[in-house]
Every structure is written in structure tokens, then in C-alpha cells.
């Protein structure tokens, strides 16, 4: 594989991969965070935060023309005993505690949702079963707000599944008390026409650990913006992502880890495979180490595997460091192609074409899938990857 | 007894918007148990012959036939050829990221043998074959050809030859880029396979050096896209002393 290792900017292989120009975390946003949609001008597409996104395919989420319909999404929360699930209004103090909308669509979601859902795991409660949140699109337009709060030393796994067809804009807040452990798996397994834009805000308490697994397979446009900051020292965040971008799909993952307090860790690993004409994956990895954040240890990596011609990757890792007193900070981005020579080599050993592709893609994702640490999710992911391959190669 | 028959093979390649004929009527018969050395200057079409037999899509067959035990090889896809018993040890083996050597070997063996090898015997089989080629066991966990040295790549090719047990093995400049020690180890591997008497070997090389370790039954001089002279091992000695000059000037291109 002709692998290009070129931090700090983008990554490239001949023809299909664009290299994005460098930009900084500080200049990335065109307006300051706000709950009010009116504080953000309607994007025209040349703004730093919108320049990769096909605005014309957002079905009006960005310009105020999208209106909630009755048949938006159906949300079903299955929570084990001890967990509380509430529907609250915009004035609830827990909303926005982990982060404020940073772009127009997130602010639109905040301005337009009807009731927010708050799931609470009380302090020192250790769940043995996951909390499952099924978000099923029923063809309409919806705005949502979900809060998941873990009290001090609580431990939980949350699996959020997105299926069906919808136009959805949402904010999801994760509040981790001191010493809490939260694993969130968010699966975007939408039908082909769905549009899903969401900002995820995690506030990691003192000595708490947050693990996020973002898995994006479906949709016409999926644009997720996971953001992490810390409420006290000793916090850890692991952000894993896996995407499989097919023909005509736009899948965008924009991450920000804000090291705002000392002695916290973060580790970001996102991997994606692409196949088919106009498959477009965007990965933005911003890490900010603020002046106060001494003892920070951070690493971020994005890898892409381009399986066919006609697919495009924009991968932009970006590290901004305001203090030299850190343990480590690194980033890497690489995009490689599965090319005809690799296929020939494998086939020349008797391996059929379909099997050869499967071998390469499974191998590519294997290490990441193993890091998830949840066997049933791992199995499901492997099965889903196989399904994706079958659908397009077969 | 397995026989590879190449008759009047013509092959073209597209280059710079033009079609260029590289092979201009190759005739060759390789039988199981025989070793044929094909020697020739750079650009004579030796590697084109190797890759055409394996079915590389870059090459277009414009005439002639290739059969393996009477079966039409040219009709087969690349993987079918391998499963029929053709093996090409490549001059420049390709890196395959994300796929470990052990996974790759097992998948290949499963494909060519038609069933998955029994795990216990397979592990032993691989371990022993690697030991014979002086390969570190840790090698099995690395990704195929990724970061391999030139010598490691060639050993890995010969490891596959030993494990896949083809009917006809085409070794495309397996000797190029190897130091003497690596050349010896690799040649010993080829000889072990030859000694079984089960494989016909087509040894493609630019140099006579490897023929000190692997003794051919037949030597063919390749020039201008065809075989221009055939003989026994003594022909290699003649090439060693006189070079290819006699074949590249005048006569061969007629």
C-alpha cells in the first residue's frame, strides 16, 4: 500500500485524496458557542467548520428551513434498575453543562427540541447490563437533546443505536462524576437517505474515564462532532471510531479534545474504509492543550483505507499546545489504497477476489475492534463490516 | 505428470498510449520434476512471461495457448490459476497492510488445498518451514511484506512455495537483491521443493549466480520476447563467460 505519513496536515494518495490546508483550533469556528441559533449566520460552505460538508444535502438543518414533523424519530430507552429516565425542559440545569452548541445546526437542535431526555446513573451504582437507547427514524425531521449523567464512581455502558430514515439534529451530553466510568457506543446504522448531525459533549470528572466508540455505516450525510473536556485532574478519554463509507455517502467526524486541566489523558483512534464513487469521509482531529494543562498525555490517529477509485478522504489532525510541561502529545494520519497489485498478489495465492478484499478490510479494522472491549459489540461490528463488503462487492 | 505447455504465446502491454508487443511467440514445455532456467538481458520480456502466466491484468494475450495438464490456463482468473497449481514467486512482492503473515498463509493454503488445513498440523508445518528458512517466529505476526527487507520478502515467497506445493513454480528473479547468505538459504528452500519431484520449476534470472545453487535441467536464452536458444546446463556457463551480447545484437531481433 502506498501509505503516506504526513503529519501535521492531511494525508494523501494519488488521485482520490485531498490534502486539507492547516488551520488551528482557535480559528476553526466562525462564531462563539451559543444556545441561540440566531447567533450563528447561515453557513455558505466556505467557513472552516463547514467547508467539507455538502450543505445542499442537509435538508435545511443549517438554514432554518427544516421543521420538526410528527414522524421524526422514535426513541426507546431500556434502562436497568436503579437508572432514572426523565423528560425535561430547556431550563434544566444539566443541559449544556458539558458543552454549549458550537455551530448553527447544534444551536438549531437546542432551539427546536421539544423535551430533552436525561438518563441518570446514581452515584456508586455499577451497572452490569448496558443502557440501550434505540433511535429509530420514521421518515420525518426531528431535533433532540440527550443527557447521560453518571454520579461519582458510577459505572455504565450505554449503547445508542440509530436506524431507519430521518433528518435529525441533536446534542448529546455526557456528564461523568468523579471516578465514574462511562462507555458509550453510538452506532449510526441509518438507511441510505438519513441526515444526522450531532454534537457530543463529554465532561470528564476528576479521575473519571470516558470511552466513546462511534460507529458510522449508514446515512446520506452523517456529521458528528464529539467534544471532550475535563472537570478535574486525572481524567481519561478514549475516543474510538470506525466508519465504512459507501458510494455517495458523506460521513464526517470532527473531534475536539480540550485539555483544560492538568494531568489528563486522551487517546483518539479513528479508522475508516471507503468504497464506491463519491464516497466521502472527513476526519478532523483537534487537540488543544491549554496553558494550565500540565502533565497532559495525548495521542490521536486517523487511518483510512480506500478500496476503490472515486472515493475521497479529507483527514486533518491538529494539535495546539500552549504548555511544554506535558507527558506526551502526538498525532498521525495516513490514507492508503487497496490497489490492484495487492489484489493480484493475494489472488495469485489462490485467494478469490471477494475473500481478498475481506481479508484486507478485516485486518485493517481488527486492532481497533479489539480495543472496544465489549464482546457483543465487537461481534456485531465484524458482522456489519462483512455485510457492508458483501453489499458492494458481491 | 503435470505439464505446463506454452505455445506461440504473444503478449502486449499498453504503455504511453501505445500498444507494445513484448512476447513474440514463446514456446516452452515444463514438466513436473524438471527445472528450466530462463535467462536473458533486461527488457527481454522474462518478467512479462512470468506475470502473463500468472494472469496479471496489465498484460493482454494476443495469441497462442497456455495449458496445464491440458486445461486452458488463459481462460482462468488469477486465483483459479493458483488453485490449478501455478505459483509465481514475485520479484517485488507487494505489501498488504492489515493482513498478518500467519493469516495470509492459512487463507492461501485453505484456498489452494480446497479445505482449511487442520490447525494443529498446520501450526507445526508453518513453524518447521520457517525454521528451515531461518525465519524468526515473530515474522508470522507481521503484516504481509510490510517493512520486510529484500531478503525477508524473498524468504517469505519461498515459504509460500514450500507450503502451497504447486505443480509449476515460476520464480521471477528470486535471486535479485540477495546477498550470498540469503541466496543460499532461498536456493536451499527451492531445492527442497524440487527434490520432492512434484514441481516443475521455471527459474527466471538475469544472473548465472543462482545456478550454482539450483542446477537446471534446461537453460533457455530469452531475447526480444522469445526463446532464442535452448540447451543444457552448459549453456549457462557459456552465458557466464560471454554475456548476452551475442543475442542482443543482430540475430535475436530478426
With an 8 Å Cβ cutoff, are A346 and B54 in contact? no
- Smallest Cβ–Cβ distance between B108 and the set A1, A351, A363 belongs to A351
Rounded to 5 degrees, φ, ψ at A131 are -85, 130
Q: Which residues of B touch A (CB under 8 A)?
A: 54-57, 77-79, 81-83, 87-88, 90, 93-100, 103-104, 107-108, 111-112, 143-144, 160, 164
Q: Which three cell numbers stand for residue A382?
A: 465484524
For B98, the closest of A348, A350, A360 (CB atoms) is A360
pLDDT at residue number A16: 39
The shares of helix, strand and coil residues in chain A, as percent rounded to the nearest 5, are 15, 45, 40
Least Cα separation, residue B86 to chain A (angstroms):
8
Alpha-helical segments (H) within A208-352: 340-347
pLDDT in tens, A201-241: 999 999 999 999 999 999 999 999 999 999 999 999 999 99
Indicate which of A336, A350, A359 best probes the interface with B, i.e. most B CBs within 10 Å of its own CB: A350
Confidence check: pLDDT of A257 > 90: yes
pLDDT tens-digit series, residues A281-327: 999 999 999 999 999 999 999 999 998 889 999 999 999 999 999 99
Enclosing H/E stretch for B104:
helix B101-113
Could you list the residue range(s) of the whole structural domain that residue A252 is in?
4-339
- Residue A249 cell numbers, joined: 455517502
Torsion angle in degrees (nearest 10) through CA of B160, B162, B166, B172: 60
Q: How far apart are CA A371 and CA A269, in angstroms?
A: 10
CA–CA gap between residue B170 and residue B153 (Å, rounded): 16
Side-chain half-sphere of A199: how many Cα atoms within 13 Å?
25
Inter-chain CB proximity B57 and A344 less than 8 Å: yes
Q: Does residue A136 have a pLDDT over 90?
A: yes
Q: Which of A3, A350, A359 sits opposite B79 (nearest CB)?
A: A350
Give the number of domains in chain B: 1
Min Cα distance B100 → chain A (Å) is 8
The answer to whether B78 contacts A347, with C-beta atoms less than 8 Å apart, is yes
* Complex confidence, ipTM: 0.95
- Report chain A's mean pLDDT, rounded to a whole number: 91
Per-residue pLDDT band at A30 (split at 50, 70, 90): confident
* Bond from prior residue into A8 cis (ω within 30 degrees of 0): yes
Specify the number of domains making up chain A.
Answer: 1
Give the pLDDT confidence score for residue A378 in this predicted structure.
Answer: 87
Apex CA A357: angle with CA A351 and CA A363, to 5°? 100
Pairwise CB contact (< 8 Å): B104 & A346 = yes
C-alpha span between B172 and A268 (Å, rounded): 43
Sort B163 into a burial class: Cβ within 10 Å, 0-12 / 13-18 / 19+. buried
Q: For an interface test with B, which of A2, A305, A348 has the most B Cβ atoms less than 10 Å from its Cβ? A: A348
pLDDT at B15: 87
- pLDDT class of A25 with cuts at 50, 70, 90: low
Closest chain A residue to B56 measured between Cα atoms?
A344
Confidence check: pLDDT of A3 > 50: no
Q: Supply B117's cell numbers.
A: 488445513
Q: Are strands A116-121 and A131-150 parallel, antiparallel or unpaired?
A: parallel
Inter-chain residue contact B111 with A350, CB threshold 8 Å: yes
DSSP H/E element including A257: strand A250-259
Percent of chain A with pLDDT strictly greater than 70: 92
Residue-range definition of the domain harbouring residue B142: 3-253
Nearest to A345 among B87, B94, B143 (CB): B94
Q: What is the pLDDT of residue B218?
A: 97
Checking if the pLDDT of A14 tops 80, the result is: no
Measured between beta carbons, the chain A residues lying within 8 angstroms of B54 are 344, 348
Chosen for mutation from B93, B98, B111 (greatest number of chain A CBs closer than 10 Å) is B98
Residues of chain B where predicted confidence (pLDDT) is lower than 70: 249-254
Q: Write the CATH number for B231.
A: 3.40.50.300
Summarised one tens digit per residue, pLDDT across range A339-393 is 889 999 999 999 999 899 888 888 889 888 888 888 888 888 888 888 888 776 5
Closest residue, chain B, to A336 (C-alpha) = B97
Q: Taking the CA atoms of B51, B56, B62 and B63 in sequence, report the sign of the dihedral they define.
A: positive
pLDDT value of residue A9: 35
Task: Tell me whether residues B94 and A341 touch, CB distance under 8 A.
Answer: yes
Instruction: Compare CB distances from A349 to B55, B57, B108 and report the shortest one's residue.
Output: B108
Residue A378 three-state SS = helix
Domain-located, residue A180: yes
Q: Which distant-in-sequence residues (6+ apart) come within 8 Å of A383 by Cβ?
A: none
pLDDT confidence tier of residue A17, bands split at 50, 70 and 90: very low
CA-based nearest distance A350→chain B, Å: 4
pLDDT band at A2 (very low <50, low <70, confident <90, very high): very low
Say how many CB pairs under 8 Å bridge A and B: 87
What is the pLDDT at residue A24? 53
Q: What does the block give as the cell for B111?
A: 484456498
- A393 falls within a domain: no
B99 contacts in A (CB within 8 Å)?
A: 346, 359-360, 363
What does the radius of gyration of chain B's CA atoms come to, in whole angstroms?
18
Residue that the C-alpha cell 449503547 belongs to: A159
Query: Which residues are CB-contacts of A118 (< 8 A; sequence separation ≥ 6)?
Result: A84, A85, A86, A87, A88, A92, A94, A147, A148, A149
CB contact under 8 A, B82 and A349: yes
pLDDT, tens only, B161-186 = 999 999 999 999 999 889 999 999 99
How far apart (Å, rounded) are the C-alpha atoms in residues B219 and A385?
50
Q: Are A132 and A77 in contact (CB under 8 A)?
A: yes
Q: What does the pLDDT read at residue B177? A: 87
Beta pairing partners, A176: A150, A204
Q: What is the dihedral of CA B203, B204, B207, B211, to 10 degrees?
A: 10
Cβ–Cβ gap A348/B55 under 8 Å: yes
**Does residue A235 form part of some domain?**
yes
Question: What order of strands is seen across the sheet that includes strand B59-68?
Answer: B18-31, B3-15, B59-68, B71-72
**C-alpha–C-alpha distance, residues B147 and A338, integer Å:** 17
Helix (H), strand (E), coil (C) string for A142-193: EEEEEEEEECCCCEEEEEEEEEEEEEEEEEEEEEECCCCEEEEEEEECCCCC
Find, in chain A, the residue whose alpha carbon is nearest to that of B147: A1
Probe site for chain A from B14, B54, B78, B142 (most A CB atoms < 10 A):
B78
Look-up: residue for cell 494472469? B55
Amino acid at each position: 500500500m502506498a501509505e503516506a505519513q504526513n503529519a501535521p496536515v492531511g494525508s494523501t494518495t494519488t488521485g482520490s485524496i485531498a490534502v486539507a490546508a492547516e488551520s488551528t483550533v482557535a480559528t476553526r469556528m466562525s462564531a462563539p458557542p451559543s444556545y441561540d441559533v440566531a447567533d450563528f449566520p447561515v453557513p455558505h460552505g466556505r467557513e472552516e467548520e463547514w467547508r467539507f460538508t455538502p450543505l445542499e444535502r442537509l435538508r435545511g438543518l443549517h438554514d432554518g428551513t427544516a421543521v420538526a414533523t410528527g414522524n421524526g424519530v422514535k426513541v426507546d430507552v431500556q434502562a436497568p434498575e436503579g437508572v432514572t429516565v426523565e423528560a425535561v425542559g430547556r431550563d434544566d440545569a444539566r443541559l449544556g453543562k458539558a458543552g454549549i452548541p458550537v455551530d448553527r445546526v447544534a444551536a438549531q437542535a437546542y432551539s427546536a427540541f421539544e423535551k430533552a431526555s436525561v438518563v441518570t446513573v446514581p452515584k456508586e451504582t455499577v451497572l452490569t447490563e448496558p443502557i440501550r437507547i434505540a433511535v429509530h427514524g420514521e421518515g420525518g425531521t426531528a431535533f433532540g437533546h440527550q443527557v447521560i449523567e453518571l454520579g461519582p464512581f458510577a459505572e455504565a455502558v450505554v449503547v445508542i443505536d440509530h436506524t431507519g430514515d430521518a433528518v435529525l439534529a441533536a446534542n448529546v451530553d455526557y456528564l461523568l462524576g468523579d471516578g465514574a466510568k462511562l462507555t458509550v457506543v453510538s452506532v449510526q446504522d441509518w438507511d441510505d437517505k438519513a441526515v444526522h448531525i450531532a454534537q457530543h459533549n463529554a465532561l470528564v470528572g476528576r479521575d473519571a474515564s470516558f470511552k466513546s466508540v462511534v460507529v458510522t455505516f449508514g446515512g446520506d450525510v452523517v456529521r458528528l462532532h464529539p467534544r471532550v473536556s475535563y472537570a478535574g485532574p486525572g481524567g481519561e478519554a478514549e475516543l474510538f471510531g470506525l466508519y465504512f463509507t459507501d458510494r455517495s455517502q458523506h460521513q464526517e467526524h470532527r473531534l475536539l479534545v480540550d485539555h483544560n486541566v492538568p494531568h489528563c489523558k486522551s487517546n483518539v483512534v479513528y479508522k475508516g474504509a471507503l468504497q464506491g464513487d463519491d464516497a466521502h469521509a472527513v476526519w478532523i482531529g483537534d487537540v488543544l492543550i491549554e496553558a494550565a494543562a500540565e502533565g497532559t498525555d495525548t495521542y490521536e490517529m486517523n487511518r483510512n483505507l480506500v478500496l476503490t477509485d472515486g472515493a475521497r478522504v479529507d483527514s486533518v489532525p491538529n494539535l495546539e499546545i500552549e504548555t511544554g510541561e506535558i507527558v506526551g502529545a502526538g498525532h498521525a494520519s495516513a490514507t492508503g489504497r487497496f490497489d490492484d497489485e495487492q489484489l493480484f498478489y493475494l489472488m495469485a495465492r489462490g485467494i478469490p477476489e471477494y475473500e481478498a478484499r475481506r481479508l484486507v478490510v478485516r485486518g485493517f479494522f481488527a486492532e481497533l475492534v479489539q480495543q472496544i472491549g465489549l464482546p457483543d459489540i465487537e461481534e456485531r461490528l465484524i458482522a456489519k463490516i462483512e455485510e457492508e463488503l458483501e453489499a458492494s462487492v458481491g | 505428470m503435470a505439464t505446463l505447455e506454452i505455445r506461440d504465446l504473444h503478449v502486449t502491454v499498453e504503455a504511453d498510449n501505445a500498444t507494445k508487443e513484448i512476447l513474440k511467440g514463446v514456446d516452452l514445455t515444463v514438466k513436473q520434476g524438471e527445472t528450466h532456467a530462463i535467462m536473458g538481458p533486461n527488457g527481454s520480456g522474462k518478467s512479462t512471461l512470468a506475470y502473463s502466466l500468472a494472469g496479471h491484468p496489465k498484460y493482454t494475450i494476443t495469441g497462442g495457448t497456455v495449458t496445464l495438464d491440458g486445461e486452458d490456463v488463459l481462460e482462468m482468473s488469477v486465483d483459479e490459476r493458483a488453485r490449478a497449481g501455478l505459483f509465481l514467486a514475485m520479484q517485488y512482492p507487494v505489501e498488504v497492510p492489515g493482513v498478518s503473515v500467519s493469516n495470509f498463509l492459512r487463507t492461501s493454503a485453505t484456498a489452494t488445498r480446497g479445505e482449511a488445513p487442520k490447525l494443529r498440523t498446520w501450526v507445526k508445518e508453518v513453524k518447521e518451514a520457517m525454521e528451515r528458512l531461518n525465519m524468526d517466529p515473530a515474522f508470522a505476526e507481521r503484516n504481509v511484506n510490510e517493512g520486510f527487507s529484500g531478503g525477508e520478502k524473498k524468504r517469505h515467497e519461498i515459504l509460500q512455495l514450500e507450503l502451497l506445493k504447486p505443480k509449476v513454480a515460476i520464480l521471477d528473479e528470486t535471486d535479485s537483491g540477495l546477498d550470498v547468505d540469503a541466496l543460499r538459504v532461498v536456493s536451499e528452500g527451492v531445492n527442497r521443493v524440487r527434490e520432492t519431484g512434484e514441481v516443475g520449476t521455471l527459474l527466471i534470472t538475469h544472473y548465472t549466480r543462482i545456478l550454482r545453487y539450483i542446477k537446471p535441467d534446461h537453460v533457455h536464452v530469452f531475447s526480444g520476447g522469445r526463446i532464442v536458444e535452448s540447451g543444457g546446463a552448459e549453456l549457462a556457463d557459456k552465458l557466464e563467460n560471454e554475456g548476452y551480447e551475442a543475442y542482443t545484437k543482430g540475430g535475436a531481433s530478426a
